[in-house]
Each structure stands twice: as structure tokens, then as C-alpha cells.
């Protein structure tokens, strides 16, 4: 701590590392002038620019400047150097709400207190035109007094992100907590989507487990789309009724924020007269918010980049996302041209040919399996950046059969593989796929798209 390198911008003394991700590290630090403890998030500028997360960082800064609320983690100032961006944020040392839930279900009064604080903060965000879009226990922190603090606005959207139809269209979030209208890609109201996610959090706090869960991702989406969940017997009747209004799969009839906050169970012991937080401190004498925008090459998109299905924030450690995209579960499922997620909920889903599967095997094992298939069938193999191309040697009715197998990393231990015919006769491809390829792949497949259970 005596080293010169531990002093940041002559303002903060850096201490122990609190956490580390692919693109950022978070340190405990002390403000040299006030002695206040803060958390310093250090972002590697080159890495986020290389993988296209520029807009996500910009948006996170903009949003955290807008939302100054006692139950939202505060951003004190933003600084930048040539290679790094520094967020000086409120230090919240009570850990994640997720850790409490991991120990088991909470008592009704405790769950209600956290839910009240969550809804109060979310309502405030909505009043400022901010939609979080990734509400889950992992993004809800607790301070030393046990008060909830919403964190991680990396997937949030601002009101101006809405299209002419007044809706948001970027599919993002964490699958188990996301609203059904977000999944079906028809456009959605950010406020109603946040209410749904908050309802899932309430269920988890009281039950100790998720309302919508299935090892098969497609089946879980069907349950979400239909609002199929069952409250455990210990839920009070008024909670059951409230959850049925919140977890209504029809956003048009789902309870609105004002009605939710007027609910008798919700209002018990609730005080809306929270103290007005102090104004946000931004140090403009340094490379602050405005400079951060200048430091990046402008590469704006409709609503910015999104994260993976199972974590908020940047993509997980491992390989750089292919094609300079950061894929989440929704992106991966909708990779095929013209593929509409609403088809996941059609009754004839099992009649469609299968061409996608998930696996927990490493990428090397996936590639080796396709090489094995190619050797058996005398196909030529070309490999590059997660793409395996198989080129047939026999002449068919419409030339040589060509197949692409593209491997997408969801997490370092979970992959989606899409198999596509790129040349040749479709009937010959289907025959080869069903008779030869699919049986050979069974050793590495965890679940086929939509209609088979995991082969654990």
C-alpha cells in the first residue's frame, strides 16, 4: 500500500481486489481526501473496444448518472487514462442477495422488505426513463445495514432507445428471470418486463427456488410463455394472488407499478418517504464522463451490446466472441435466418427437422467428433474460429454435399452447435443427418433443440 502505483489519479488509495471479470477488476479503495471507502471498477479499454462492448460501457455511465436513489449503487465519478476507464462507486460490503437465498428461503417479512426496496428503486428508475432489464438476486447487493442496492446497469435501456412503436426490441437478460414478451421478439415495454423480473425475484426469496425452471432451455421458455408456475404451500394467499398478477404472461393485463405499490400485502410496513440521496459527484477536472465518450470510437447501435444468458455484464472468460458479437442465450437460439422464437411455443415444434444442439463437452471434443464423422464419410474438413466445414467428395443430385457446424460459447462449459447444409440436395442432407451424423453426435449431445431431454 506504500507503493506509488497503489495511488490512483492522486485521489484514491487502492486496496484488495474484490472481484475480477473478463474485462474489468474491482478493488476496494479509500478516498484520500475524505477517507471514504469506495469500490473502483477498472475496465480495460482496449478489450471492450475489441469485442464491441463500447456502447454497453457508455450506457452504463449514462444510466448511473441518471439514477441517484438510496437503493441503487451510486456512481461517484468516472476517470479515464489512455488504456483504462475507472468507475468510483459506492462500496456495498454486505454481499449479494443471491447469497442469502442460497442458504434457503427467507421469512415473509424479510422477503417483503427486500421486495419493497427493489420495487421502490425500480419505480424510481422508470420515472427517469431507465429500464434495468436484468433484475435478479445476483445484481441486488446488501449494505452493512441490510438494505438492498440495485447494481449492474450494463444491460439497461433508456427511454430514447424505444423504436417508433414505443417498444424496446433487443432481446437480453437472464433466461429464468426474463418476461415472455422479451423472448418472443415482438417488442416489449421495458417497465412491464422489469415488473415481471421483480416478481420472479419475490418468488425466489419466498420459495428458495425459481418459479420457471427446466434443464431443457426450450421447455423453460414454454413455461415462461404460458406463465406456468406453482406456489409452494407456505405462500400466504395474498402473495399467491399478487404473484398471479405480476407473473401474468400477457403484458397488457399484467399488474402496473402503481397498482402493485398499492397492494395491501406490499404496503405493510412500507415507507415511500425515503431520504433524497445526495447529488452525484462527478470530477470534471479529470477525464470524466464526457471524455470517456470521446475516448471511444463511436459505434452506436439501437440499444447497445448485450451479455450472456447466465451472467450480466461482459461475455465470460474463454475465447473472444465470434464475429465480434457477444452472444447470449436468446441470440444463439435465433441465429438461423428467419428463425422466430415464437415458434418455440407452437404445437408442431417436434415436426421440424433438428439442426441445433447443446453440449457441455469442450470445444476440442466437439471438433474431434465432427472430424471423426468426416473421416468415416470421406468428407474434407476445414476448421477456423469455431466453424467446422465438411465438404463431401461424392456427387449428388445437386452437387457435393457441404455442411457447416458452428460452435457458439454460452459459458466456458456450455456450448450451442448449429449444423447447417450449405450446398447439395436437401433430401440427401436429411438422410445423411438422420442416419449417420445424428447417431454419431449422441456421445457429446446434452440436449437436442426442443424435443429431447438431457442425456446425463
Per 3-state DSSP, the chain is made up of helix, strand and coil in percentages (nearest 5) of 35, 20, 45
Pair 115, 198: CB distance under 8 Å? yes
Provide the H-helix boundaries in 35-77. Answer: 45-50, 54-66
Give the C-alpha separation, 248 to 236, whole Å. Answer: 18
DSSP code string of 293-308: HHHSPP---SS-----
What three-state secondary structure class fits 360? coil
What three-state secondary structure class fits 399? strand
Q: Which of 55, 134, 189, 331 is catalytic?
A: 134
Extract long-range pairs of 241-249: CB within 8 Å, 24+ residues apart.
242/266, 243/199, 243/202, 243/203, 243/211, 246/195, 246/196, 246/198, 246/199, 246/202, 247/196, 247/199, 247/200, 247/203, 247/211, 249/180, 249/224, 249/225
C-alpha cell at 60: 452504463
Give the C-alpha separation, 308 to 306, whole Å. Answer: 7
What is the number of helices (H) and of strands (E) in the chain?
15, 16
Is 41 labeled as ligand-binding?
yes
C-alpha cell at 305: 451490446
- For residue 49, the Cα-to-chain-centroid distance in whole angstroms is 19
Active site residue 298: no
What sign does the CA torsion over 29, 30, 32, 34 have?
Answer: positive
- Nearest CA among 276, 243, 289, 389 for reference residue 80: 289
Q: Residues marked as binding for ATP?
A: 41
Q: Residues marked as binding?
A: 41
Q: Which residues are catalytic?
A: 134
Amino acid at each position: 500500500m506504500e507503493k506509488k502505483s497503489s495511488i490512483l489519479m492522486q485521489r484514491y488509495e487502492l486496496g484488495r481486489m474484490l472481484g475480477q471479470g473478463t474485462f474489468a477488476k474491482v478493488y476496494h479503495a479509500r478516498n484520500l481526501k475524505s477517507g471514504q471507502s469506495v469500490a473502483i471498477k477498472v475496465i480495460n479499454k482496449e478489450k471492450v473496444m475489441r469485442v464491441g462492448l463500447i456502447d454497453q460501457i457508455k450506457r452504463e455511465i449514462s444510466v448511473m448518472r441518471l439514477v441517484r436513489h438510496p437503493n441503487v449503487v451510486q456512481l461517484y465519478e468516472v476517470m479515464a487514462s489512455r488504456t483504462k476507464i475507472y468507475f468510483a462507486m459506492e462500496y456495498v460490503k454486505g454481499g449479494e442477495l443471491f447469497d442469502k437465498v442460497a442458504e434457503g428461503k427467507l421469512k415473509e417479512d424479510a422477503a417483503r422488505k427486500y421486495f419493497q426496496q427493489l420495487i421502490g428503486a425500480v419505480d424510481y428508475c422508470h420515472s427517469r426513463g431507465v429500464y434495468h432489464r436484468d433484475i435478479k438476486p445476483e445484481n441486488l447487493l446488501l449494505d452493512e445495514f441490510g438494505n438492498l442496492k440495485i447494481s449492474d446497469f450494463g444491460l439497461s435501456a433508456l427511454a430514447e432507445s424505444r423504436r417508433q412503436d414505443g417498444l424496446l426490441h433487443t432481446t437480453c437478460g437472464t433466461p429464468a428471470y426474463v418476461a415472455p414478451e422479451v423472448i418472443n421478439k415482438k417488442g416489449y415495454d421495458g417497465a412491464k418486463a422489469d415488473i415481471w423480473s421483480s416478481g420472479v425475484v419475490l418468488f425466489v426469496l419466498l420459495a428458495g427456488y425459481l418459479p420457471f425452471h427446466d434443464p431443457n432451455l426450450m421447455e423453460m421458455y414454454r413455461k415462461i410463455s404460458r406463465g406456468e408456475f406453482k406456489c409452494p404451500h407456505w405462500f400466504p394467499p395474498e402473495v399467491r394472488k399478487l404473484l398471479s398478477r405480476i407473473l401474468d404472461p400477457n403484458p397488457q393485463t399484467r399488474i402496473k407499478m402503481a397498482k402493485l405499490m398499492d397492494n395491501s400485502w406490499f404496503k405493510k410496513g412500507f415507507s415511500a418517504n425515503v431520504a433524497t440521496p445526495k447529488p452525484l459527484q462527478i470530477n470534471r477536472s479529470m477525464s470524466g464522463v464526457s471524455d470517456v465518450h470521446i475516448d471511444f470510437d463511436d459505434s452506436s447501435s439501437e440499444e447497445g451490446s448485450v451479455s450472456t444468458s447466465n451472467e450480466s455484464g461482459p461475455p465470460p472468460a474463454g475465447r473472444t466472441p465470434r464475429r465480434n458479437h457477444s452472444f447470449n442465450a436468446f441470440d444463439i437460439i435465433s441465429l438461423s435466418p428467419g428463425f422466430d422464437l415464437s415458434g418455440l411455443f407452437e404445437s408442431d415444434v417436434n415436426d421440424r427437422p433438428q439442426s441445433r444442439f447443446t453440449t457441455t463437452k469442450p470445444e476440442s471434443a466437439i471438433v474431434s467428433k465432427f472430424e471423426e464423422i468426416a473421416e468415416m464419410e470421406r468428407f474434407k474438413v476445414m476448421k477456423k474460429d469455431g466453424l467446422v466445414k465438411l465438404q463431401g467428395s461424392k456427387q449428388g443430385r445437386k452437387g457435393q454435399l457441404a455442411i457447416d457446424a458452428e460452435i457458439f460459447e454460452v459459458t466456458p462449459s456450455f456450448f450451442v452447435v448449429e449444423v447447417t447444409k450449405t450446398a447439395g440436395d436437401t433430401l440427401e442432407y436429411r438422410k445423411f443427418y438422420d442416419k449417420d451424423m445424428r447417431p454419431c453426435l449422441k456421445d457429446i449431445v446434452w440436449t437436442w433443440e426442443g424435443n429431447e431431454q438431457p442425456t446425463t
